[in-house]
Structure 1
Amino acid sequence: MNKILVIGAGGVGSVVVHKMAQLSEVFGEITLASRRQFKCDEIAASVKARTGVTIHTAQVDADDTDATAALIEKLGVTLLVNVALPYQDLTLMDACLKTGINYLDTANYEPRDEAKFEYHWQWAYQQRFEEAGLMALLGSGFDPGVTNVYTAHAKKHLLDRIDTLDILDCNGGDHGQHFATNFNPEINIREVTADVRHWENGDWVTTPALSNKQAFDFPVVGEKNMYQMYHEELESLSKHLPEIKRARFWMTFGDAYITHLQVLQNIGMTRIDPVIYEGKEIIPLQFLKAVLPDPSDLGKTTKGKTCIGNIMTGEKDGEAKTVYVYNICDHEDCFAEVGSQAISYTTGVPAMIGAALMLTGKWSGKGVFNMEQMDPDPFMDMLNEHGLPWQVTELDKPLDF
């Protein structure tokens, strides 16, 4: 019987274990662990009520490699699914190497003291995982994750060559809050306020954050303003598909979100360097996180849909072609199924799918892998089967901005 350890009891962790419980023939024994065990217990009670499956819970400090390794050995698990914070990726990879088990995460490593998220820290583990005969699967969320697999699917089935890639992430939902982030506020704000980078003609082009705004008419959701950002899948896709001449990432934000964010930046609340308050060091962004709404609670009030997908141009059978591969996800449907909003759902379901493919041997290897390096077909099939169906549309022309 497979034994799995999931670390992280936020919105994504909740979705992961709910969806694992729905596939009990693959996920035999599930343990959910976090620094706050009471959160794990709350999620376990929801899983039991919704699916009838009992999952175990545990307390662990994911910053502590030895403590994590001790828990792994106590439980006898063979796969660690990391849906904790990106700061903890390397610590948890070390714990997997120490105990000889496979590893999966949904976001790449990011140092606490610098808003810089890149894969090179985790790619540096390639030899160690390979020599240990273990597999580490990076970025098995939606973006990164599904968007990487969409690209691999297009290369395998839709286009002989991919010239340009635009990843478009649209949240058309409304949670009713004046200002809130749909996933961890600290990570979200660090991403949005970082310099923009995109891949073009073999090099990175850097522009200021939120400086490129475009309107786009999304399927089902309608027209929204989207802003160019840097996102980690651009790094791995430009490495593994060097034929791509240009790769960009876009995310939608409402005017109220941008206004609030700019004010918070202007008054120093998004700083990640410590300041002294009443004789103690605090990080302003971490304090801001503490006073903002918890993203895992937003599902109760969020209505609307998300639309996330890739627009890819290239050539098929000697002719120019543009394809749009995307998913539409409904916030209220997600909450009815697993008690979470669509942002957590669209990340948690792909994490479950990646883990299932590793456990069944459909995806295997020795070393550190990004999603586009795997065969896209079984993953794409499971997206349709487990709540994230995809569509393909051929566009008359590529994006003209």
Structure 2
Amino acid sequence: MAMKRLRSPKDCCVAAVRKDPEAAFCEECGQPLARCMAFAECGGLVGDDGLCHVCVDPHLQIIPGATMNAPIGGSVALPFDLYNSSTIDRPLFVTGLWSREKGDWREERLGWETLDPGTRAPASVTAQEFDRAGLHEVEIMWTVATRWRARQENFAFSSRVLLNVAGESAGAAGPVVQISSENAMNGNVIQITDNTSRGSKDDGKVVSAIDMNIHRLDVEERRLGLRGITEDLRVPRSVAFRFAGFGKQQTPALELPISTPDGILAFGRSKTRAAGGEGDVHLTVVDQSGATDTDQSLQLSRRHFELYVENDRLMLRASGSNGLRINGSALGPDKIVPLNDGDVIEPLVKAPGALKLAVRFAREFDRVSLVTVTRTPAIQESAA
């Protein structure tokens, strides 16, 4: 049976990044080309939702041979496999499993976490007591993480199953669950029928795996704290960056999303790529006359800190040897923190007033559309 796939990046965008690994936009559709955090390995792009479909391609399948029995007034166990159909050699980590018929989620027991590429692992949820005949909907939610070095992206998915419970006949042993791949109301139907016919050819067992329709649960991701700054505010991968107070060739030239091969903006003493260096934002310290303060500038590492978007948040990692300050608090090497609107970055711990970078968010509805990074003191053109 063909897999039911989630939405993937456009073919033209994939072709554009294969043609030019440094391209910022797709020439055909004009969309920004945001790389997966593991682009060097997977070559994948992510959309505004931050999902790389090369790395994250989960499925839920009702397993062959499953037989589930329950009388009206009882419960139904729904066995299934979670399957990782990613084509690259990096696992998914299943971090939680829940189910519900209506109302609140019930957390289910899951005795494993790692799901290697091309493999499946068993799980099950229990649909609670059915006290009436008719349609019952069971929703299954699971959360997954994909990891690359020190970074991790989290997502939540769900599948909805419709149970049609028929009334019992006198003397019956109870309804037998029969599963079909028939789609109804964009869901997956499991038919529970009264098993009173001794001559029935249907033994209630699944003959072949049924791949279920799955959906992203972006609202639940924010509610669970997996993604977003708050439940009503997020920083998408398509957010643009503006730089103020910098000199020529010290920052990316245009207001663009992050389109570097590793999905990171590197701030530090190294020159920018446009100027022949390996950095993205060039940092120096200037004195009161606007001239470069060489001694203090040497306190900045060539790659002093990094900014990147992860789980719909703007993250900062202190990558230099001397650390830095955020809103006056010291942050040591290799430490990672989320940034918020109004935060002030001071790259020099021992001279915090020598260089400051203020971060501001421009918001459109529930998303940040522009991040502005303003340096103080500003670079004069003669010093640039």
Query: Which TM-score applies when normalising by structure 2?
Result: 0.27
Whose Rg is larger? 2
Query: Which TM-score applies when normalising by structure 1?
Result: 0.26
Bigger fraction of residues in strand? 2
Bigger fraction of residues in helix? 1
